[in-house]
C-alpha cells in the first residue's frame, strides 16, 4: 500500500458514516442544501481526481462538461419536451461524446499546453451557453421543472441530500475500483513516465482518453444533478472560475486521493458560505487560506495529514 492511501473499505465506510451522521447533526434545510452541494461538487471532483491524480493530466476547463450536463438537463424539457431525467442522460452522453472526439488531439499535448487547450475548450462551451440566448436563456439562466418519478415529485432538501449522497458513494466506489483495475495500473504507469509505460505495452493514448471520458461523465452527472436539485442554472456552472474551483478541490484535498477529492469539495463548498461572516474580507480570506493550505500541506489535506500520522506512529 502506498503511504497516505487507505483500503477501499475504509474509504467507503468513512463516506457512508459521514453521509449518515450529517443529517443527524445538521438537520436544518439550509445545512442539508449546503451538504447536497458538497456531494454534487464531490462527484465532479472525483472524476477530475482520476484525471489529475491518477493519470497526471490537467484540465482547466472541466466545468465545461458540468455545463453540458446541467444545460442538457434544463433544455431537454424546454425545447424537446423530454422529461428532465432522460435529458440528463442525453447530456451525460453528449459530454462523453465531446470528450471522446476532442480527447485524442488534446491529450497529445503535455503539461501547460494541455492546460491551455482544456481551458480553451471550457471557454468555448461557456461562450456558447452565454451567447445563444434564444436557446439557453443567456446570462439570465434558465428554470427547470420538477422531476417526477413514478408520478411523484422529487423535492425537498432531505430527499436530494440522500440522492446526491448515494451518488457520491457510488461514484467513489467506481473510482476506487478503477484505481485497482488494469486501467488504473496503466494510468499510474503513464503518470510516472509515458515512455516507460509505452515500452511495457501500455496503450498510452487510449488510456488517457478513457480516463478523460470518465472524468467528463462524472462532471456532466454532477452538472445534471445540480440542475435538477437547484431547478435553476446560469452559465456560471460552466465558467472558468468553476473549472479552477474544481481543480482546487482536487489539489487541496490531495491529488490522487479519492477521499481527498471529497474533502476538498467539502472545504471549497462550505468555506465561501462560512466566510460570509467576514463580509467584504471574504475573498481575501479565501485566497489566503488556499495559499496557506498549499504551502503547509502541499500534498493536500488527506495525504498530508495521513502522512503525518504515519510518521508519528513509526517515530
200 is a site residue for other proteins (CB under 8 A): no
Residue selected from 15, 22, 37, 52 as contacting other proteins according to rule CB under 8 A: 52
The total number of residues written for the chain in this structure: 315
Q: What nine digits make up the cell of 34?
A: 449546503
Residues in binding contact with other proteins, number by CB under 8 A: 47
Q: Is 112 near other proteins (CB under 8 A)? A: yes
The answer to whether the beta carbons of residues 4 and 302 sit under 8 Å apart is yes
- DSSP codes joined into one string, 144-166: -PPEEETTEEE-SHHHHHHHHHH
For other proteins, which is the closer residue by CB, 20 or 291? 291
Binding of other proteins at residue 117 (CB under 8 A)? yes
Residue of 270, 286, 305, 307 that binds other proteins (CB under 8 A): 286
The CB-of-112 to other proteins minimum distance in angstroms stands at: 6
Query: Is position 288 an interface residue for other proteins (rule: CB under 8 A)?
Result: yes
Q: Give 42 or 251: the residue with its C-beta nearer to other proteins.
A: 251
Beta-strand relationship, 232-233 and 142-143: antiparallel
49 binds other proteins (CB under 8 A): no
Instruction: Report how far Cα 67 is from the mean position of its chain's Cα atoms.
Output: 12
Residues in 143-182 at the binding interface with other proteins, rule: CB under 8 A: none
Which residue in 105, 134, 151, 201 binds other proteins (CB under 8 A)? 105
CA distance 195 to 103: 19
Q: Judging by beta carbons within 10 Å of its beta carbon (0-12, 13-18, 19+), is residue 241 exposed, middle or buried?
A: exposed
Q: Cell triple for residue 290? A: 488556499
Q: Does residue number 189 form part of the binding site for other proteins (CB under 8 A)?
A: no
Q: How many helices (H) and strands (E) does the chain have?
A: 14, 4
At closest approach, how far in Å is the CB of 156 from other proteins? 34
Q: How far apart are CA 211 and CA 261, in angstroms?
A: 16
H helices of the chain, in order, are: 8-25, 29-49, 63-75, 84-107, 111-131, 133-136, 157-180, 182-192, 194-199, 204-230, 240-253, 258-274, 282-296, 301-314
Q: Which of 18, 85, 100, 124 binds other proteins (CB under 8 A)?
A: 124
Backbone phi, psi, residue 143, to 5°: -95, 150
End-to-end CA distance of the chain: 19
Out of 174, 270, 289, 305, point to the residue binding other proteins (CB under 8 A).
289
Distance of CA 77 to the CA centre of its chain: 25
Residue 247 as a binder of other proteins (CB under 8 A): the answer is yes
Answer whether 64's CB lies under 8 Å from 121's CB.
yes
The residue among 82 and 294 lying less far from other proteins, judged by its C-beta, is 294
Q: Which stretch binds other proteins (CB under 8 A): 154-162, 175-183, 218-226, 242-250?
A: 242-250
Q: Which stretch binds other proteins (CB under 8 A): 12-20, 142-150, 209-217, 240-248?
A: 240-248
Q: Which is nearer to other proteins, 16 or 285 (CB)?
A: 285
Contacts with other proteins, residue ranges (CB under 8 A): 52, 58, 105-106, 108-113, 115-117, 119-121, 123-124, 127-128, 131, 193, 195-196, 240-241, 244, 247-248, 251-252, 255, 280-291, 294-295, 298
Amino acid at each position: 500500500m502506498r503511504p497516505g492511501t487507505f483500503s477501499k473499505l475504509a474509504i467507503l465506510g468513512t463516506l457512508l458514516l459521514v453521509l449518515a451522521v450529517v443529517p443527524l447533526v445538521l438537520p436544518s434545510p439550509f445545512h442539508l442544501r449546503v451538504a447536497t452541494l458538497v456531494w454534487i461538487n464531490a462527484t465532479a471532483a472525483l472524476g477530475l481526481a482520476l484525471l489529475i491524480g491518477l493519470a497526471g493530466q490537467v484540465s482547466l476547463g472541466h466545468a465545461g462538461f458540468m455545463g453540458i450536463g446541467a444545460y442538457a438537463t434544463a433544455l431537454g424539457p424546454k425545447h424537446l419536451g423530454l422529461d428532465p431525467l432522460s435529458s440528463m442522460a442525453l447530456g451525460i452522453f453528449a459530454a462523453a461524446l465531446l470528450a471522446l472526439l476532442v480527447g485524442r488531439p488534446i491529450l497529445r499535448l503535455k503539461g501547460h499546453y494541455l492546460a491551455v487547450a482544456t481551458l480553451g475548450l471550457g471557454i468555448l462551451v461557456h461562450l456558447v451557453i452565454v451567447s445563444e440566448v434564444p436557446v439557453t436563456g443567456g446570462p439570465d439562466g434558465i428554470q427547470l421543472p420538477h422531476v417526477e418519478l413514478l408520478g411523484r415529485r422529487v423535492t425537498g432538501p432531505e430527499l436530494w441530500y440522500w440522492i446526491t449522497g448515494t451518488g457520491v458513494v457510488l461514484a467513489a466506489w467506481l473510482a476506487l475500483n478503477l484505481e485497482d483495475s488494469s486501467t488504473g495500473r496503466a494510468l499510474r504507469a503513464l503518470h510516472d513516465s509515458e515512455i516507460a509505460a509505452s515500452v511495457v505495452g501500455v496503450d498510452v493514448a487510449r488510456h488517457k482518453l478513457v480516463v478523460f471520458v470518465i472524468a467528463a461523465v462524472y462532471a456532466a452527472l454532477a452538472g445534471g444533478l445540480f440542475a435538477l436539485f437547484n431547478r435553476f442554472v446560469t452559465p456560471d456552472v460552466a465558467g472558468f472560475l468553476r473549472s479552477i474551483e474544481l481543480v482546487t478541490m482536487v489539489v487541496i484535498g490531495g491529488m490522487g486521493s479519492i477521499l481527498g477529492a471529497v474533502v476538498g469539495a467539502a472545504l471549497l463548498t462550505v468555506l465561501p458560505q462560512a466566510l460570509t461572516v467576514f463580509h467584504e474580507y471574504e475573498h481575501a480570506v479565501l485566497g489566503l487560506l488556499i495559499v496557506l493550505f498549499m504551502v503547509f500541506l502541499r500534498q493536500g489535506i488527506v495525504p498530508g495529514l495521513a502522512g503525518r500520522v504515519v510518521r508519528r506512529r513509526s517515530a
